[in-house]
């Protein structure tokens, strides 16, 4: 898989096949400091991710390297968005602050809504003690310094996506061995 990074406003090079390249586009974020968007709507946009950032003082988009502002400048927004591209959902199940949502992964505990900042361990919600919310998971919204992991169940889900709908991103030799 090849990851192409470019600032917004610059056209992608012709000849990059959508089924072999994942294009990351850096654009001004809708929220201060952080913002990502995974437009997985239709085949044309399925290999395109946008990671937001704040524009520089001259209101021009900042460069992809170092463009994000602290505490979201560690690259975890892109990790999170690629997680979506590989079929992961937010760990709180996108049900607001309720306890009825699911991310369809058995080894992530249920939690009431997203986390922010750098919470202290444990943060309990939805009866998920003793370990509580998995705020350190890449699919939550904490500061980049607090995000450190995917679970084994999430890795299995991403592997299944790479073996199925995203198989064109793997080298042919690997997919031939898996099919044998």
In this structure, the number of other CB atoms found within 10 A of the CB of residue 41 comes to 8
33 Ramachandran zone, left/alpha/beta (phi>0; psi -120 to 50): left
Q: How far apart are CA 105 and CA 92, in angstroms?
A: 11
| Separation between Cα atoms, residue 53 and residue 69, nearest integer Å | 7
List residues with catalytic annotation. Answer: 81
Tokens of 71: 């505490």
How far, CA to CA in Å, does 79 sit from each of 5, 22, 74, 122, 173? 14, 13, 10, 24, 26
């Amino acid at each position: 898989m090849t990851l192409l990074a470019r600032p917004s406003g610059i056209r992608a090079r012709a000849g990059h096949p959508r089924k072999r390249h994942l294009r990351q586009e850096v654009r001004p974020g809708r929220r201060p400091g952080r913002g990502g968007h995974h437009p997985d709507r239709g085949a044309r946009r399925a290999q395109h991710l946008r990671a937001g950032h704040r524009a520089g003082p001259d209101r021009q988009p900042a460069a992809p390297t170092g463009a994000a502002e602290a505490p979201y400048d560690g690259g975890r927004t892109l990790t999170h968005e690629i997680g979506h591209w590989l079929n992961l959902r937010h760990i709180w199940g996108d049900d607001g602050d309720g306890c009825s949502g699911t991310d369809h992964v058995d080894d992530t505990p249920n939690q009431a809504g997203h986390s922010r900042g750098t919470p202290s361990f444990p943060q309990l919600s939805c009866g998920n003690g003793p370990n509580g919310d998995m705020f350190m998971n890449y699919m939550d919204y904490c500061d980049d310094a607090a995000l450190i992991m995917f679970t084994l169940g999430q890795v299995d889900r991403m592997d299944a996506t790479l073996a199925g709908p995203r198989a064109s991103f793997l080298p042919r030799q690997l997919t031939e061995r898996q099919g044998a």
